[in-house]
Amino acid sequence: MLDICAECGQYRPDKIIDPNGPVAVCPECGHRHPFRQLPLFIVAGASGAGKTTICRGVTGVLGAVVALDTDILWRPEFNPPANGYRDFYETWLRLAADISQSGRPVLLFGAGAGVPGNIEPCIRRRYFSAVHYLALVCEAEALAERLLARPAWRGAQAPGFIEGQQQFNQWFKDYNEEQPAMTRLDTTHLDEKSAARRVMGWVNERLAV
């Protein structure tokens, strides 16, 4: 919706954003397209931290946002890691920006989407008033137990997988950049309903600002 200019028809996702509106200005013809610049919410974490469980818990309950799991769009075409999976994240930002035009912000659940370095450089980051990051973390032993309890088809028992996810979990724990800020929620001792309530509270606090 926002990538193609309504006036000249050119494909320009790199529109210039005038916050006094807000308005997306076409670099080709100068057409000014009013749009809703809403916040984007991202809940991240290593495999086993609780993303899918909490996504199920808030979907249909947290009516102020549209909750989606980023895995639903994953395809092998997005897999070349050399470019940091940029096409995958640009696709999600394009979809989230279009959904936002209906008046409801998007809440994404995804591992790599919660790494600011994967999102902030994207062309379509400009269409959001802010990106709020929340990382689900837990104790390394608890993460391993959760992953080992998964059915075999999910591949958690593959050599090095658990260790890799524990390292990713630690990365979220160690993140200390001031901008963009990241909130952390330790799910080690939280049940599903409690964790979902905490995430909903985090979203509602930021919507109220």
Strand partners, 131: 40
Q: What is the pTM (predicted TM-score) of this model?
A: 0.95
Residue 160 C-beta-side C-alpha neighbours within 13 Å = 0
In whole angstroms, give the CA distance from residue 108 to residue 172: 17
Q: Which domains, from first to last, does the chain contain?
A: 1-35 (no CATH), 36-207 (3.40.50.300)
* Closest CA relative to residue 144, chosen from 159, 156, 162, 158: 162
Q: Cα–chain-centroid distance for residue 152? A: 27
For 89, 121, 143, the CA distances from 147, given in Å and listed in that order, are 25, 31, 6
DSSP-based three-state secondary structure for 94: helix
Burial degree of 170 (CB within 10 A; 0-12, 13-18, 19+): middle
Query: Residue 22: which region, alpha, beta or left (left: phi > 0; alpha: psi -120 to 50)?
Result: beta
DSSP string computed for 130-173: -EEEEEEE--HHHHHHHHHTS-GGG-TTSTTHHHHHHHHHHHHH
209 residues of the chain, pLDDT tens digit each: 899 999 999 999 999 999 999 999 999 999 999 999 999 999 999 999 999 999 999 998 999 999 999 999 998 888 877 788 999 999 999 999 999 999 999 999 999 999 999 999 999 999 999 999 999 999 999 999 999 999 888 888 888 999 999 999 999 999 999 999 999 999 999 999 999 999 999 999 999 98
